[in-house]
Structure 1
């Protein structure tokens, strides 16, 4: 009897041990898969963000007017174009990720070409903004001299905007296959060349704006050339079958998903722009804007980490839904969220401790440093929220919920966040702190709503929806090859 009990206890202990080993293996496997996407994505975003920062630093040595014009063009023009095209391109994350998970590898190349067409047409629609920059800025009340220089810079930014078409789509195409290390290598090479050329052309040869902008354009296009060559020259043999006329077929569903994706992302980007605009109308706006600019700069760098996890969540969820595994999709959401939240919590504590001391990296003004110290708790809270919210947005992209999240963004940001910010900042005279608290409440509401949506989602149903989407737009491989043959002819 005692032997039987001991045997039973031993068996149960062995089962528990096996279960723990399996869980550890599962966590380790998922962590590796997550970092294969997140690591290069974070580095690439840091590098891309660094290109504009480096350009701004060298333009600052040319003259005050040039710096003001470049900063204005960067904030109003480039970030707007970046947001629209990045949002439109995120539809490719959903399509490529789910098709790759479903092992419909040949469809990735067709989706890539369809996305090129959609983004090219979108970029053409944005052209007037860059061609008529000067009259637009003058109409908005900007200084005429600054507006003229900004108009000149805007013409150069046309080349940058068209570079986003290749950059964003190829990144998402490669990320879906977990082949984005090549993107990180190219980004590192590009930023190195950019630093050298910016110094050579602006400081050494004194070419001024032409030198700085030439280097900027080259820094954006160099990685694109490398990515295209990698894709079409054998780096993606299973997923790239050559150019196909089938890319022009079934474009409308891609356009609809792209528009939903664009709306979702732009609503988030414009939210931060409105924060700056509201601050500009407060009393003592100079100190408020300087302090806010420092906080948003730090927040922007940290956001690059969060966007890396957004990419990881999108790829892992779309891959697992396409593969037909709802459990693996849910597990990847938990792992990505916890990892990002852990990093966010460490940074949250760090910025709470440092407070105003961070400001002296950017300014010598004690008044601005004190303002930053007052805003530091809000900056820390923003960083903590940013460690969760982008991951959930990535889950939405992976599952194809872009239109749902766009409505959530409108409600939480524009019906809750901004009105509360205006009341606190202007009516209750809390100034920049009040505006930011309102904006944080909007982000908090959005995060809570996304958590509830993710928690209550029937993931088995999402698997069926993903597979329906993949099968609905599936082109048999034989027809895809015929499309290539016709195109070659």
Structure 2
């Protein structure tokens, strides 16, 4: 069995501090670097697709950006957050030596996330009238609706990939995730060039290469998990996964609210959205502690009960217009930090 992420060793007083820092840093990077590679390559697939669609036409590029920034980020945030319940539960069971429970929690996560995806899918199917209600230009909304349909295979990729990543991470098998992600990213670049530039398939070619690349990651991880490389942990599919779903549903919903990309509802500016994530890093401590419910209330209170009303009042009552909306948004962003510090420290 691989080395556990956490040990109960108490460092000796005579231990050399720089050496201890180096040892701990290596352990952290052993987990963090492959995860970072996985996230970078996943985001890179979206970026590469956008670059190739830019060669097709300006309207196509605008439509893709609209769907990717609003709809895909929205769903990605929900499903990624809900999958953090798997991270919490699998990590706890692995540390407790209950290895068989990891496979059960993985299957429960698939069940919950697939049902959630089915509920969210109509937003992609009927995206054209939705974008029309949002006041988008007619030519952009029509192409955006067409691209949204191509995103549906990617939509069903999310429930599997997020859960499997957390499942393997709990076993300190992040290298597998990183290597498969790199291979899929290279495949995506080659397929995008072939379909869009060489064969001139247009939007279908760009979106098909994205779907193939993403699902190649899932298939690769399926092969690794089901092929016997997780001995004593994956023991096959079981009906037990359908039992006691309610506690995991509650934890998943709390996790989804906690990590939901709320910023993208208020802005499409990448720097502003990134600042939300940077300032809320401290809230990630709750994942390991299993306190996602607390953070969900912090996020809802900060963004919706305080940030949005303050922004509306400043914009329309105080006549600050766009400045008022920005001030309200900044207040909503800043509030989670002191609240989290008060709780944890």
TM-score greater than 0.5 by the shorter chain: yes
Q: 1:106 to 1:29 in 2, by over 3 A?
A: farther
Give the C-alpha shift of residue 149 in structure 1.
1.6
- Three-state SS of the structure 2 residue aligned to 1:21 is coil
> What is residue 203 of structure 1 aligned with on the other side?
197
Unaligned runs of 5+ in 2: 1-10
Map 1:360-439; keep pairs closer than 5 Å.
382=275, 386-387=277-278, 389-390=280-281, 392-422=282-312, 427=318, 429=320, 431=322, 435-439=325-329
Q: Does 1:147 align with 2:178?
A: no
Higher helix fraction: Structure 1 or Structure 2? 1
CA RMSD of aligned residues (A): 2.3
Map 1:172-211; keep pairs closer than 5 Å.
172-211=166-205
CA distance, structure 1, for counterparts of residue 27 and residue 93 of structure 2: 17
Deviations 1:91-134 (A, max 9, x none): 11111011111111110001001111111111111121111122
Map 1:286-325; keep pairs closer than 5 Å.
292=269, 295-296=271-272, 300=274
- 8 Å contact 2:279–2:334 — kept in the other structure? no
CA distance, structure 1, for counterparts of residue 265 and residue 135 of structure 2: 17
CA distance, structure 1, for counterparts of residue 143 and residue 320 of structure 2: 37
Q: 1:249 to 1:89 in 2, by over 3 A?
A: same
- 8 Å contact 2:279–2:333 — kept in the other structure? no
Residue-pair matches, total: 334
> What is residue 82 of structure 1 aligned with on the other side?
76
CA distance, structure 2, for counterparts of residue 20 and residue 417 of structure 1: 50
CA distance, structure 1, for counterparts of residue 202 and residue 236 of structure 2: 42
- 8 Å contact 2:45–2:210 — kept in the other structure? yes
Q: Does 1:99 align with 2:93?
A: yes
Deviations 1:180-238 (A, max 9, x none): 11111111111111111111111111110011001111121111111111111122113
- 8 Å contact 1:275–1:439 — kept in the other structure? no
CA distance, structure 2, for counterparts of residue 424 and residue 135 of structure 1: 31
Give the C-alpha shift of residue 423 in structure 1.
5.4
- 8 Å contact 1:275–1:436 — kept in the other structure? no
Deviations 1:407-442 (A, max 9, x none): 11122222333344455666464845x644543333
Unaligned runs of 5+ in 1: 1-16, 277-291, 301-381, 456-489
Q: Does 1:454 align with 2:340?
A: no
Q: 1:138 to 1:437 in 2, by over 3 A?
A: closer
